[in-house]
Chain A
């Protein structure tokens, strides 16, 4: 039972260690999909938008965690 709990917790932390970041990744991917299918934008521009969105998100999550940690 303990092993199953540990396994479940490991799998959760693999994909949702930072749950907010995971949710925002899904939102960015959905936005890219919407742009791809609903606008005439060239696909490579949407690709670079997807890349830029993920880069900005990562930077925001890192610096917000660091600010919280320094405030403690």
Chain B
């Protein structure tokens, strides 16, 4: 039977990957259309290989460390990281900072790549490097999330599968429509993932301090719900303030 912990870990990795892969896809699409698909694919696959190696190297290494030694540092990192995502999602939902606009990012990236000079006849190095950098930077957060929610509890493989499924799903949709995925509700997903990561962080820090959470693993659910509720209330208040 799948536990609340495993379910949260897999869905967090999946949803976080949808957000990050959507952003990376925009850059790869711009590279593909402006500099050629050979360089875009080479840069993308090189970065994906690099990220997979990072998970394969650090994940099992952390699995060797006793869970009690991992909970506090990983919990603290997850807490800081998750609250950062939530803060940004609330500010975006409240209209304080602009929403992530994939179409605008795509247009900027296309203009920047076209300014970068003539496309070379063979392998286009600037294009490959841009795709590599875009996928690597966006993927870094996914790697952190997969390792943080998966390591120490034997959930590394399920979390990686969740992330890989998101990657395949976004790339499949992208391959079909050949446009930036501006209709993906990135901020809503960021909201949900931020609440889940923060919940993991508080839960793990609490466990490291010897706190017995009422409801055991179910605490993940009510902690995430408390953050979601706060986030939605704060975003609605910010929207009213900005009118």
CB neighbours (8 Å) of B97 from chain A are 69
- B76 contacts A46, CB within 8 Å? no
Tell me how far the C-beta of B203 lies from the nearest C-beta in chain A, rounded to whole angstroms: 9
Instruction: Please report which residues of chain B, range 180-229, place their CB below 8 angstroms from some CB of chain A when the two chains form the complex.
Output: 198, 202, 205-206, 209-214, 219, 223, 226-227
Q: Is the CB of B87 within 8 A of A18?
A: yes
Taking a contact as CB atoms under 8 Å apart, the answer to whether A7 and B211 are in contact is no
Please state if B133 and A69 are interface contacts (CB–CB under 8 Å). no
Interface size for chain B: under 10, 10 to 19, 20 to 34, or 35 or more residues?
A: 35 or more
Which of B104-112, B135-143, B164-172 binds A? B135-143
Q: Contact between A29 and B205 (Cβ–Cβ < 8 Å)?
A: yes
Interface residues of B in 67-95 (CB under 8 A from A): 76-77, 79-81, 83-84, 86-88, 90-91, 94
**Known contacts A3-B133, A62-B87, A69-B96: does B238 contact A55 (CB below 8 Å)?**
no
Please, how many residues of chain A have a CB less than 8 angstroms from a CB on the other chain?
36
Given contacts A6-B137, A43-B212, A62-B90, contact A29 B79 (CB under 8 A): yes
Query: B-facing mask of A18-56, CB < 8 A → 1, else 0?
Result: 100110011001001100100000011011001100110
CB pair A47 B230 closer than 8 Å: no
Interface of A (DSSP majority class): helix
Does A1 touch B at the CB level, under 8 Å? Answer: no
Beta-carbon contact of B81 and A14 below 8 Å: yes
| New contact pairs (6) apart from A51-B223, A51-B226, A69-B97, CB-CB < 8 Å | A47-B213, A47-B219, A55-B226, A57-B83, A59-B234, A65-B87
A-B contact count (CB 8 A): 112
CA distance A47 to B136 in the complex (A): 36
Do A15 and B87 have beta carbons less than 8 Å apart? no
Whether the pair A58, B91 counts as a contact (CB closer than 8 A) is no
Asked if B223 and A15 make an inter-chain contact with CB atoms under 8 angstroms apart, the answer reads no
B221 to chain A, nearest CB (A): 13
Q: Which residue of A lies closest to B72 (CB)?
A: A29
Known: A29-B79, A69-B96. A54 touches B140 (CB 8 A): no
Q: How far is the CB of A60 from chain B (nearest CB, A)?
A: 10
Among B80, B213, B226, B230, the residue within 8 A (CB) of A15 is B80
Q: B213, B226, B241: which contacts A70 (Cβ < 8 A)? A: B241
Contact B212 A14 (CB under 8 A): no
Q: Is B144 an interface residue when CB atoms closer than 8 A count as contact?
A: yes
Chain B residues positioned under 8 Å from A59 (CB to CB): 230, 234
